[in-house]
Amino acid sequence: MKDDNQEITKKSEPIILTEQEETALSAVAGNSWKKYSRIAMTALGSIPWVGSILSVVASISSEKEQDTKNKILALWIDEHEHKFKELGMTLNEIFTRFESFGDKINKRIDSPEYLTLVRKTFRQWDQAETMEKREMLKKILINSGVITLAQDDLIRLFLEWIEKYHEFHFTVIREIYKNSRITRSEIWRKIRGEQPIENSAEADLFKLLIRDLTTGSVIRQEKDVNALGQFMKKAPTKGNGSSTYESAFEDTKLYVLTELGAQFVHYVMSDVVQQLEGGKV
């Protein structure tokens, strides 16, 4: 199998569509696909059940078989009605947002690098188990078409995070974004309310979530920074003689997003596309 980067040529070439491909695109996205045909074809071609039907339809060439083409397209729509409608809505929302930015983004969204992201993202979109993840994938395509802060390799990292983490992870990320310098105890109260006992499944799950996001460089404990941007070590403190381990809901250590975590929020969780500068939130 070819790498995505090899599948899309470095030099953009005009797309020549068959009548059946145009019919399929119009069925999915109305007329909005015409201005963004390269993105539309890349998206549809990356989803197995779409790519398969386009291949079958394209292989039928004789005029006598026109009825067969129409029946295949009709069966395709009926078989995948729910996903079919959702795919059309997703593409139209992406194209509508692009329209609001005018022609200044054309070079970016027609680039081989961006089309590679489109291919990878829609493969993941098709396999996503929840609407929340599909919404995130839609936003990352919109925002990565406009925002130039993060390089495409970071966007691919964000795609891996969307696939790897669960909704509870994203809830924790969102809470720290809204309330920077928040403790684990405060995070839990805002998300779930009453604090469970330490040896409960809920406490174990919460510790796991915090550990996942910390080791994944999405969140971290707040640290002092010197003039060179280096994190300062805290002075060692003497133990208090406690006979118990640190609580899952510890209430003194403050948590913030890492710089990567902050960019992830802007690309994946933000409804407002904005140009970031200097890596700052």
Q: Can you give the pLDDT at residue 220?
A: 97
In 143-171, which positions are buried (b, 16+ CB within 10 angstroms) versus exposed (e)? Answer: bbbbbebbeeeebebbbebbeebeeebbb
Q: How many CB atoms lie within 10 A of CB 39?
A: 24
Strand partners, 221: 255
Please give the pLDDT value at position 35.
86
- Residue 46, H or E segment: helix 37-46
User: What pLDDT sits at residue 277?
Assistant: 37
Going along the chain from its start, the domains and CATH numbers come out as: 4-128 (no CATH), 147-234+244-281 (1.10.10)
List the structure tokens of 117.
């992201």
- Lookup: tokens for 243: 């006979």
Nearest to 187 by CA among 204, 167, 209: 209
Query: Residue 276: its pLDDT value, please?
Result: 35
Q: What is the mean pLDDT of each run of 10 residues along the chain (281 residues)?
A: 48 61 71 84 86 64 64 69 84 92 90 95 94 95 82 93 96 95 97 95 97 97 83 70 85 96 90 44 34
Give the relative orientation of helices 19-29 and 81-99 as an angle to the nearest 10 degrees: 80
Cβ-in-10-Å burial (0-12, 13-18, 19+) of 77 comes to middle
C-alpha angle 112-118-124 in degrees, rounded to nearest 5: 140
- Element at 86 (helix H, strand E): helix 81-99
3-state SS of 21-45 is: HHHHHHHHHCCHHHCCHHHHHHHHH
Q: Which of 214, 223, 210 is nearest to 250 (CA)?
A: 210
User: Could you tell me which residues come within 8 angstroms of residue 207 by beta carbon, excluding any fewer than 6 positions away?
Assistant: 248
Report the 10 Å Cβ neighbour count for 270: 15
Q: What is the rounded CA–CA span in Å between residue 138 and residue 125?
A: 8
Give dist(CA 121, CA 116) in Å, integer: 9
Q: Is the pTM of this model over 0.85?
A: no
Distance CA 250, CA 18 (A): 62
